[in-house]
Amino acid sequence: MKSLQNKIAIVTGGGSGIGRAICLLYASEGAKIVVSDVDEKGGEDSVAQIKAKGGVAIFVKADTSKPEDSRKVVEQAVEKFGGLHIAVNNAGIGGPLSPVGEYPVEGWDKVISINLSGVFYGLRYQIPAILAAGGGSIVNIASILGKVGTKGSAAYVAAKHGVIGLTEASALEYADQKIRINSIGPGYILTPLLTKSLNDTAMKALVGLHPMGRLGTAEEVAELALWLNSDKASFVTGAYYNVDGGYLAQ
């Protein structure tokens, strides 16, 4: 039997990159997918790709920085598919690049609202629905920058550190209620988030930061998320797993 057979899953930021790879993989493993994204075209494209391969999915346009949108996504999962068992809180942005003493306040607010508050809003509405379904699993996508710092991205670094702490706290709260909550720390992954914002020189510099000598792929992150959301990881909660080509081992 497929590892997510008859499961219902929400994936935020499912319209591209890591989120899309997770949607496609989970659907191939039998899950019914609620694709959530602020990008309507990207989200609909993900649904179309899932359906083209025989999977089941719907798209719900949502901005993770708005709590009412997170509630709406969960409500749609329950209404359309009858419940919720799995969630992946993946949506995020990079934000401005600037030293803390010059960092734009509006940029800080936007990054924190999407990358950290957005994960909290997701958990806030996903957890009651998963409890009602008898239990399940949540994966929060953090970053290697949830464990270490880097220059120029204070808001992103702070938000991703917060995601790991939020994961640990919520995992403890629901460990005895059949909900597992874990986080993943991707290294620099070859996704539109990078390719649209960096030139060739910058990309080569990023490659050089990884001992394996390459960037990761969205599919490699998706495989780790799948394991964590499956029953194969049944004794794993409150954990942080990096998938980073050796970045954090340096």
All structural domains of the chain: 8-243 (3.40.50.720)
The single residue of 103, 121, 125, 156 carrying the catalytic annotation is: 156
Q: What is the average pLDDT score of the chain? A: 97
Q: How far is CA 53 from CA 46, 90, 167, 231, in A?
A: 11, 23, 33, 24
157 pLDDT exceeds 90?
A: yes
Paired strand residues for 27: none
Show the tokens assigned to 65.
């920085």
Length of the chain: 250
The dihedrals phi and psi of 191, each to the nearest 5 degrees, come to: -130, 170
249 pLDDT exceeds 80?
A: yes
Q: In this predicted structure, what is the pLDDT of residue 192?
A: 74
Task: Please check whether residue 81 is in contact with residue 8, taking contact to mean a CB–CB distance below 8 angstroms.
Answer: yes
Global confidence as pTM: 0.96
Q: How far apart are the first and last CA of the chain?
A: 40
d(CA 117, CA 131): 21
Q: Any catalytic annotation for residue 121?
A: no
The DSSP call for residue 1 is -
pLDDT, one tens digit per residue, over 207-235 is: 999 999 999 999 999 999 999 999 999 99
8 pLDDT exceeds 80?
A: yes
